Amino acid sequence: ARPDEPADTDEPNAAELFEPEKPEQELFAPAKPTRQQRSDALNDPAVQMVLQGLNATPISIEKIETVLPAPESAPDHPAAPDVELEEYPTE
């Protein structure tokens, strides 16, 4: 065997690739999680935020929008108040 082709080390690696015993089980989660795993996942704050977002209804979104100021009340030109202050000094 040449140094760039070590035949002794290639054969076991090939056998490991074709016959994975436990690495496959570690890579993929079991089909049905245990009760504790499911409980831990559901208690995760990030998961709760996602679930709350999925349960949002158009009514709750509408209520949030009415709390915000209406777009008509916002000034069309932000520089307009500055021009008024220059014309009418408040001394």
Q: What is the pLDDT of residues 47-72, one digit of tens each?
A: 888 888 777 666 655 555 555 555 66
pLDDT for position 48: 87
Query: For the segment 3-44, what is each residue's pLDDT rounded down to a tens digit?
Result: 555 555 555 555 555 555 555 555 665 678 788 988 998 889
Q: What's the CA gap between 9 and 5, in Å, rounded? A: 9
Q: How far apart are CA 26 and CA 39, in angstroms?
A: 20
Cα torsion 54, 59, 62, 64 to 10°: value is: -70
Contact present, 41 and 47 (Cβ < 8 Å): yes
